[in-house]
Structure 1
Amino acid sequence: MIKNLTCKMLIQRCFLRLLHIAPRVRFAPSPTGYLHLGGLRTALYNYLFAKSRGGVFILRIEDTDQTRKVEGSINALTNDLEWAGIECDEGPSKGGNFGPYVQSERLNIYQEYIEKLLANGSAYKCFCTERRLNILRRDAIRTQRIPKYDNKCRNLTPANIQEKIKAGTPYCIRFKLSSDCSSFEDLIFGGIAYDVSLNEGDPVVMKSDGYPTYHFANVVDDYLMGVTHVLRGVEWQISTTKHLLIYKAFGWTPPLFGHLPLIVNADGTKLSKRQSDVKVEDYRTKGIYPLALVNYITLSGGGFEHVVGEGIRLKTMDELADEFHIEKISSHPSRLNPDLLEECNRLELRRHLEDEKLTKSLILNLQNLIKNKYSSENLNVSEEHVRSVLLWATSRITRIEELVTPKFAFLWILPSNKNLEVNRNLFEKLVSDLENLEKFEQDSIKDNLKNFSAENGVKFPVLMKMLRSVLSGLNEGPSVSEMMQLLGKFQSLERIKAAIR
């Protein structure tokens, strides 16, 4: 046990020791399902912090609760992180000098350190049944007290313990809480004071099935893996003084702790599937680019210098790391603004179109989307046409999936002129008139068509209806002049000519 050192002194000493060395940080998800936005934010900020200071980012899987483990979720978590551009330096697939990096493979290590706590009197065997614990909870609720364990087994004599073990009574291991450590300096929130012993009974650190609880395993792992800074969600802030007591029981210097605020909806309500996407996978399948999602998170949560009047600037992962400052992370809940996400995705789409290699990949992706959507139609998906559409669309869309909606179907589906009745003479004149049009732009096209309708005695709406039929054969879509500008002069005239052949 460490003597005569308060938690504040420990943290101050730790801060001075760690100030000038490269950090080792970790992201430690449980494989209980999908990676949600809050988890991605935690991983991202740990990654940026490590990268900004030449440190190490560790991925550790915390699967000690085997009842909640979901098959395939470890691979899904890893894939989502890699998709977002977050690569671990050490982890289950990367290896490293401090493995295994999956907690269920470290049970012998936890057992060794549980024995140390038992030996120094910081932990004890608890034989209380689930029935007794339920009675304690019910009584506390009935009398309006905080439900907590009454620490009954803390005072068992060695003889009592041996008698119960001999009788085969199941037991868990509990850690002895005290009031010795009730405050710490949070890297984001500042000074935090909380005496866990006033509100909780002695916590279980090793379950009867031989698996450790989160509170014990994460302390042991962080120490043995050399973690210098723990950046995690604010929901764990209240448990930190408990963790510091465990560090103290082992005589270990703890890492520095920083807790990231909640992510909430734009109206301040709790993030939920009902109001917005919470799964990273949802953003992937809906056409959001990884860099757009990463920038969206950082714009909502702070950690960067904001230049007034700069507007939104999409930053690469290297730029985000270079500009990251942990002291600039806001302690207020991070409000998500969906409009920011759309703008980030539009900026990333534009960036792709400025890079020839990325543009080719984008064109191929859109071609495949079109063919899958309109598999039975006569299509125009030439590379030249798709490229021109993408260049036109960057100010109108935020994701390429929008270009295969019914609104833009005219771009790809070549109209069928079967059974289409048109005024041949009128359209021959129109072709000649449009061929002489120097600027084939929306305003000039519209003005030209208005003049043409007046000069040829045809009502403008009637002309527009006929043109829409021969240009697309669809009832939906932008205005005829905008449609013609997008199709281009050559293709617009070819579609009109095809109708009168």
Structure 2
Amino acid sequence: MFIFKSKPPLLRYICVYPKHNLCRTLKTVNPRVRFAPSPTGYLHLGGLRTALYNYLFAKSRGGAFVLRIEDTDQSRKVEGSVDALIQDLEWAGIECDEGPAKGGKYGPYVQSERLHIYQEQIKKLLDNGSAYKCFCTERRLNILRRDAIKSQKIPKYDNRCRNLSQEVIREKMKAGTPYCIRFKLSSDCLFFDDLIFGGIAYDVSINEGDPVLLKSDGYPTYHFANVVDDHLMGVTHVLRGVEWQISTTKHLLIYKAFGWTPPQFGHMPLIVNPDGTKLSKRHSDVRVEDYRNNGIYPLALVNYITLSGGGFDHVPGAGVRLKTMEELAKEFQIDKVSSHPSRLNPDLLEECNRLEIKRQLQDEELTKTIVTKVQKLVTEKYPEENLNISEDHVRNVLNWSTSRLTRIEELASSKFGFLWILPSNTVDVNKEVFEKLINTLEDISMKEFEQNCLKDHLKDFSTKNGIKFPVLMKMMRSALSGLNEGPGVAEMMQLLGKYQSLERIKAVMR
């Protein structure tokens, strides 16, 4: 048995038992899972990981993936965030089977549209004595919190209204005193088998007072709505972030009070930076939208997440292999998800994106789309230049770039301007030398017009014609690109191709 001893103190009372082989007990027939974000802003990397693993878990077992919007905290709702969230999920290749935009027999799928359902369900808990009306004012609750902090104790509600007499309740109701509804926590030390962490036991009443289920404005809290919706929507497995692990025994008590069978729970560890520090939502490297805008392909980002979090077979030393969504779903195994924090490796993201570009260039239709994108990027970057952005040239550049570049947008950078901008004919070169060079290049076969062979031919040419090799390279670089820096001359010629290389050299002689 292992006991957490980290701060805050409430974590001391979580007992974690060693993870065992859960495959034998895992219910795998047609599971129903859900991704239930709050519309408080953008979709971040952690949220995408949660959605992805739920999606893969469902698809790997012929189940259903449900999208539910948990907007009970109306004060934090950001306009337009639901549409943006759905767009991000669709961009990543995660399609919901049921949800706000798609519908389904368990809707509505937005919690603010389910208030009548929560009112019906809260009555059941009031009737069976599992919940009660609390008339404590916000001022009294603030005093409790202040006094607890002064005494260096954990702030929690003192359950004052739990034992109010019916007469007092009637008087307060008659007077129109505002109230919320709280749940009666018991001192049960509940145990559950976490699909990722193993066995966990925790007595929530040690560190918490009776929690609010329904606020005075009629909106449910997360803990109540979460349990009610998961049950009524037939959710069989809940895969969510480890930050909710501490609340799971509280949710189990609510399930018990209703007499409902709870789903199986699995909590995914934090995603952290390479140095182990927690990702910050303030940084642009956690927004899915930013990855998309910065030239990362969806399949690359999806693979990047799975490489850091486990859940798949990986052969050490085998390198990175890009997997399709279908392959990921087929291979996914919940018991192989690591319980340790998932450390991101930015180099893996770049490699995944390079592999995705390479994969798309093997498909004719996808290649056409990329060619059009490159032509547009280059035209926008150099609107007043004489450009070569023919389809053949762009395809040639793309084939060259698959082993060098990780983002298509890089091709429009100044570093690679020589690829597109035709040099002017004002370059100062030795015409006698270039006339001989043109004849030599014309005799080189297409098969030999590649970097290593070209380099040998150019060295041989410089020796036979009594011109120093660096001097020849400088003249040729000016003729080919008009730039002082860039790839080697032989590499540049291979990239430009025999025809265009000769045309550029001939152009400076006119």
TM-score by length of 2: 0.92
| Counterpart Cα distance in 2 of 1:229 and 1:34 | 25
**Counterpart residue number, 1:318:** 326
**Counterpart residue number, 2:9:** none
**Counterpart residue number, 2:458:** 449
SS at structure 2 position matched to 1:212: coil
Distance 1:476 1:71, change over 3 A: farther
**Counterpart residue number, 2:194:** 186
| Counterpart Cα distance in 2 of 1:330 and 1:411 | 45
Contact kept? 2:189, 2:201, Cα under 8 Å: no
Distance 1:415 1:93, change over 3 A: same
The one-letter code sitting in structure 2 at the alignment partner of 1:318 is: E
**Counterpart residue number, 1:378:** 386
Write the mapping of 1:458-473 to structure 2, written as runs, cut at 5 A: 458-473=467-482
| Counterpart Cα distance in 2 of 1:108 and 1:330 | 40
**Counterpart residue number, 2:73:** 65
The one-letter code sitting in structure 1 at the alignment partner of 2:494 is: Q
**Counterpart residue number, 2:486:** 477
Cα shift readout 1:127-159 (whole Å, capped 9, x = no counterpart): 111111111111111111011111111121122
**Counterpart residue number, 2:164:** 156
**Counterpart residue number, 2:257:** 249
| CA RMSD in angstroms, aligned pairs only | 1.7
| Counterpart Cα distance in 2 of 1:160 and 1:475 | 88
Distance 1:248 1:130, change over 3 A: same
Range with bigger deviation, 90-99 or 335-344:
335-344
Range with bigger deviation, 273-282 or 114-123:
273-282
Cα shift readout 1:33-82 (whole Å, capped 9, x = no counterpart): 11111111111111111111111110000001001111111011101111
| Counterpart Cα distance in 1 of 2:433 and 2:486 | 24
Range with bigger deviation, 476-485 or 390-399:
476-485
| Counterpart Cα distance in 2 of 1:222 and 1:20 | 18
Distance 1:388 1:17, change over 3 A: closer
SS at structure 1 position matched to 2:199: strand
Match of 1:79 among 87, 97, 102: 87
| Counterpart Cα distance in 2 of 1:17 and 1:478 | 58
| Counterpart Cα distance in 2 of 1:16 and 1:219 | 26
Cα shift readout 1:183-215 (whole Å, capped 9, x = no counterpart): 211111111111110001111111111110100
- 1:436 correspondence with 2:480: no
**Counterpart residue number, 1:424:** 431
Contact kept? 1:409, 1:477, Cα under 8 Å: no
| Counterpart Cα distance in 1 of 2:484 and 2:171 | 85
| Counterpart Cα distance in 2 of 1:218 and 1:273 | 24
Write the mapping of 1:252-401 to structure 2, written as runs, cut at 5 A: 252-272=260-280, 277-401=285-409
Match of 1:142 among 113, 136, 150: 150
The one-letter code sitting in structure 1 at the alignment partner of 2:417 is: A
Contact kept? 1:407, 1:478, Cα under 8 Å: no
Contact kept? 1:406, 1:476, Cα under 8 Å: no
| Counterpart Cα distance in 2 of 1:200 and 1:470 | 76
Structure 1: state its 5+ residue gaps: 1-14
Distance 1:182 1:90, change over 3 A: same
| Counterpart Cα distance in 1 of 2:322 and 2:223 | 38
Range with bigger deviation, 370-379 or 42-51:
370-379
Cα shift readout 1:220-250 (whole Å, capped 9, x = no counterpart): 0000000011110000000000000111111
Match of 2:180 among 172, 179, 189: 172
Match of 1:125 among 133, 142, 162: 133
Q: CA deviation at 1:475?
A: 3.0
The one-letter code sitting in structure 1 at the alignment partner of 2:99 is: G
**Counterpart residue number, 1:3:** none
Q: CA deviation at 1:309?
A: 4.2
Cα shift readout 1:360-391 (whole Å, capped 9, x = no counterpart): 11111111111122122111111100101111
SS at structure 1 position matched to 2:72: coil
| Counterpart Cα distance in 1 of 2:379 and 2:170 | 73
| Counterpart Cα distance in 2 of 1:84 and 1:55 | 19
Contact kept? 2:28, 2:61, Cα under 8 Å: no
**Counterpart residue number, 2:112:** 104
Contact kept? 2:92, 2:298, Cα under 8 Å: yes
The one-letter code sitting in structure 1 at the alignment partner of 2:449 is: F
Range with bigger deviation, 372-381 or 240-249:
372-381
**Counterpart residue number, 2:15:** none
SS at structure 2 position matched to 1:277: helix
Q: CA deviation at 1:445?
A: 2.2
Structure 2: state its 5+ residue gaps: 1-22
The one-letter code sitting in structure 2 at the alignment partner of 1:57 is: F
Q: CA deviation at 1:123?
A: 1.0
Q: State how many pairs are aligned.
A: 486
Q: CA deviation at 1:269?
A: 1.1
Identity rate, percent: 78
| Counterpart Cα distance in 2 of 1:421 and 1:327 | 68
